[in-house]
Copies of this chain bind each other. A is one copy, B any other.
Amino acid sequence: MSAVVSRQWRLAARPSGGIENDQFEWREETLAEPSDGQVLVRTLYLSLDPTNRIWMSDIDQYMPPVEIGDVMRGGTIGVVEAPGRTGMQVGDIVQGMWGWQSHAVIDARAVRVLPRDTGLPLTAYMSVLGGTGCTAYFGLLDIGQPQPGETVVVSAAAGAVGSIVGQIAKIKDCRVVGIAGSDDKCRWLTDELGFDAAVNYRTETVLEALRRHCPDGIDVGFENVGGDILDAVLTLANFKARIPLCGLIAQYNADGPVPGPYMFRNVLMKRVRIEGFIVTDFIRRFPEAIAALSGWVAEGRIKYRVDVVDGLENAPGAVNKLFDGSNQGKLMVKVSDEPAS
C-alpha cells in the first residue's frame, strides 16, 4: 500500500468565547500502515454538532476534552480503503468517531458497518438514523416520558435533534410547541413537520408566547438551549413536569460563570424533574431507536433536513452556523465523494 496522507484539523487553542479559525491547525500527516485489527478509512461525511464547542473547552464534562494538538473529535462516516485482516471489505461503509480528518487508520471495533440496501442516503445515518435521531428518541421517550394529550415544548426546534423530537412527540399524540430563531424555521415546523405552534424567540417574548400556546401548561420541556428559554419553560411547568436536558447552547460560548435558571425554585414548587443525558448512555438500545425511526421515515411521519457543507477545509467556519442560528437541519461536512454504488 502506498503511503496515505491524511489532511487534518487539529485543535490549536481553546476558545474563550466563540469558535475562531485560528483555534485549529491544518496538518497533512502520512499515516502508518494498518496493523492487526485496523482498517484504513477515507472520510465521506463529518458531523458538526453543538457539543464540539464543549469538547474544545478544558472544563469537566461528559468526555475528556480534546487535547491541544489532537485531531478534533467528531462523528464520521467513511469508506474502507484497506481492511487489513479484519473481515471487512474494501468499499464497506462505516460509521465512527475518527474526527476532523480525510483519512484515518483505526481499530475496526471502533466503527460499525452501515447497511447498504435501505434506499436511504448515507446522510440519513448522520442525522435521523444516527446519533441525532437516537438523541431525540431516547431523550424524549425515556427521559421525557410524554403521555398522550400532554404538552411538549422543544427548544432549538428547527435544529437536527429538536425537529425530530417534535415529530416523535406528535406521533405520541402530544401537543407540540417549538421554539426557533426565524419565521422561516417556524413555518417549517408548523406547516411541514406538524407542530401545533412555533415561537420565534427573536421577535416574540418567549414566556408570553408559550403562555398563549400552552394553555394547559407544559408537561415536557425538551431543552437544548438554556437561559431565558429554560426559565420560561420552568415558569409554565406543570406539576411533575419533565425536562430532558440535552444541551445548553445559549451558554457554550460564555466567557465566565453563567447563572442557572432564575425560576429554578419551580423545580421544587412544581416537583419538576430535570435530567441531563447523553445519547451514548443508550448505545445498546440504538437498534431499537433506529428501527422505530426508520419506520417513521419510511411512512413519511418523520421528515428531516441536512445541511451539507462542502470540503473539510471549511469545517472550522461551518461549525459556527450552529451558534448563530444560520443552519437548518443536521449540519455536516462532505469530506470526499461517495463511491459509486
Give the interface of A toward B (CB within 8 A): 54, 59-62, 226, 235, 239, 245-248, 251, 257-278, 281
Nearest CB of chain B from residue A39's CB, rounded to whole Å: 31
CB nearest to A266 among chain B residues: B60
Kindly provide the distance from the CB of A219 to the nearest chain B CB, expressed in whole angstroms: 15
Contact of A274 among B62, B258, B263, B267 (CB under 8 A): B267
CA distance A281 to B239 in the complex (A): 11
Closest-CB distance, A53 to chain B (whole angstroms): 12
Q: Would you call A247 and B271 a contact (CB within 8 A)?
A: no
**Residues of chain B lying within 8 A (CB to CB) of residue A268:** 62, 245-248, 276
Question: DSSP class of A's interface residues: helix, strand, loop or mixed?
Answer: loop
Q: Are A62 and B281 in contact (CB under 8 A)?
A: no
Decide if A269 touches B276 in the complex (CB within 8 Å): yes
Beta-carbon contact of B251 and A265 below 8 Å: yes
User: Of B235, B257, B265, B277, which is within 8 A of A271 by CB?
Assistant: B277
| Oligomer copy total | 2
Residues of B within 8 A of A60 (CB): 235, 266, 269-270
A276-B281 in contact given A261-B260, A264-B260 (Cβ < 8 Å): no
Q: Which residue of B lies closest to A268 (CB)?
A: B276
Q: Which of B251, B257, B259, B269 contacts A62 (CB 8 A)?
A: B269
Q: A62-B271, A267-B276 are in contact. List 12 more A-B contacts (CB 8 A).
A: A60-B266, A61-B269, A226-B264, A245-B268, A257-B262, A258-B264, A259-B262, A260-B260, A260-B261, A266-B276, A267-B275, A274-B275
What are the residues of chain B within 8 A of A257 when measuring CB–CB?
A: 262
List the B residue with the shortest CB-CB distance to A240.
B281
Q: Which 9 A-B pairs have the closest CB atoms?
A: A260-B260, A259-B259, A260-B264, A268-B276, A273-B275, A260-B261, A267-B276, A61-B269, A271-B276
Partner of A272 from the list B239, B261, B264, B276 (CB cut-off 8 Å) is B276
| Closest-CB distance, A15 to chain B (whole angstroms) | 15
Shortest C-beta distance, A247 to chain B (Å), equals: 7
The answer to whether B265 and A262 touch across the interface, beta carbons within 8 angstroms, is no
Taken together as a complex, chains A and B put the C-alpha atoms of A247 and B269 apart, in Å, by 9
- Are B59 and A269 in contact (CB-based, < 8 A)? yes
Across the interface, which residues of B come within 8 angstroms of A273, CB to CB?
273-276
- Is the Cβ of B248 less than 8 Å from the Cβ of A62? no
* Contacts A/B (CB < 8 Å), 10 sampled: A54-B269, A59-B265, A60-B235, A60-B270, A226-B264, A247-B268, A248-B265, A259-B260, A260-B262, A273-B273
Report the Cα distance A266→B62, complex, angstroms. 9
A274 to B275, CA, bound (A): 6
Q: Closest CB-CB distance, A10 to chain B, in whole Å?
A: 24
Q: Whose C-beta in chain B lies nearest to the C-beta of A241?
A: B276
The reply to whether B267 and A245 form a contact with Cβ atoms under 8 Å apart is yes
Q: Name the B residues within 8 Å of A239 (CB-CB).
A: 62
List residues of chain B with CB within 8 A of the CB of A261: 260, 264
Least CB distance from A40 to B in Å reads 34
**In the bound complex, what is the Cα–Cα distance between A188 and B267 (angstroms)?**
31
The complex places the Cα of A269 from the Cα of B262 at a distance, in Å, of 20
Residues of B within 8 A of A262 (CB): 257-260
